Amino acid sequence: MQQQFPEEDFVISTISSYKGLQSPFVFLVDMESGDFASREDLWYVSATRATVGLQAFAKNES
């Protein structure tokens, strides 16, 4: 079963402003910058917004 999602449902937001909301898919980008890497509360809030899929992107520092 495939689900179709309208293009107008694409939202760019900060983690703090999306707290309490949900989305079928969440893409986390630039995870290594700012407070994100060290704050467990931001990790929790961002990872629990997705109802179908979650993708996280960070630099590979090797």
Segment 7-55, tens digit of pLDDT: 667 788 888 888 899 999 999 887 777 676 678 888 888 889 999 999 9
3-state secondary structure 6-52: CHHHCCCCCCHHHCCCCEEEEEECCCCCCCHHHCHHHHHHHHCCEEE
Q: In the prediction, which pLDDT does 26 show?
A: 92
By residue range, what is the domain housing residue 45? 23-62
Task: Return all residues near 9 (Cβ < 8 A) that are at least 6 apart.
Answer: 23
Using the CB atoms, write b or e for 2-26: b if 16+ within 10 Å: eeeeeeeeeeeeebeebeeeebeeb
Structural domain contains residue 27: yes
Structural domain contains residue 6: no
Q: In the prediction, which pLDDT does 31 show?
A: 75
Question: Structurally, how many domains does the chain consist of?
Answer: 1
Structural domain contains residue 53: yes
